Amino acid sequence: MSDERLHEYFDGHLPPEERSRFERDLAADPDLRERLRELKEIDAALGTLPGHAAPPDFTQEVVRAARRRRMGILRFVMPLAAAAAAVVLAVLLTRTSEKPPPAEEGYIWESDVETYGSLSLVDLEDQILEELEGT
């Protein structure tokens, strides 16, 4: 039995058919009866606590305090975020302005070696050009 259903029963929020079913479960389950008894004791104990009325402007004070706190955090975070963005931008700009390294002359792809065997670079180049012109 879920605590949610127990609380709904205690608060009188169960629909009539579920309330009847819950009461049958309650009659058959001593653990459920004990949990309900404990819930009633807690409710009674809470009822003995002294109550205090909130000041008339309580809600407005809470909202103002939340805004002050949020602004305080933003004043701290915004400069850090701007600095981080500047660093990222600087890194990206320096990387894109670098020239790519020159291609190695005479590099043979592994697939070319498998296809053409041990031809010299000049012969390999001629062989590839002939194949490209033939297609």
| DSSP state letter for 120 | -
What pLDDT, on the 0 to 100 scale, is given for residue 114? 56
Q: How far apart are CA 75 and CA 95, in angstroms?
A: 31
What pLDDT, on the 0 to 100 scale, is given for residue 36? 93
What pLDDT, on the 0 to 100 scale, is given for residue 85? 85
Report if pTM > 0.85: no
What pLDDT, on the 0 to 100 scale, is given for residue 132? 79
What pLDDT, on the 0 to 100 scale, is given for residue 38? 93
Residues with pLDDT less than 50, the chain: none
Locus of tokens 């819950």: 22
What pLDDT, on the 0 to 100 scale, is given for residue 11? 92
What pLDDT, on the 0 to 100 scale, is given for residue 48? 86
3-state secondary structure 94-109: HHHHCCCCCCCCCCCC
What pLDDT, on the 0 to 100 scale, is given for residue 24? 94
124 with 116: CB under 8 angstroms? yes
The distance of Cα 59 from the centroid of its chain, to the nearest Å, equals: 31
Ordered alpha helix ranges (H), the chain = 3-11, 16-28, 30-47, 58-97, 110-116, 121-134
What pLDDT, on the 0 to 100 scale, is given for residue 91? 81
Token pair for 77: 């975070």
Token pair for 113: 């070696």
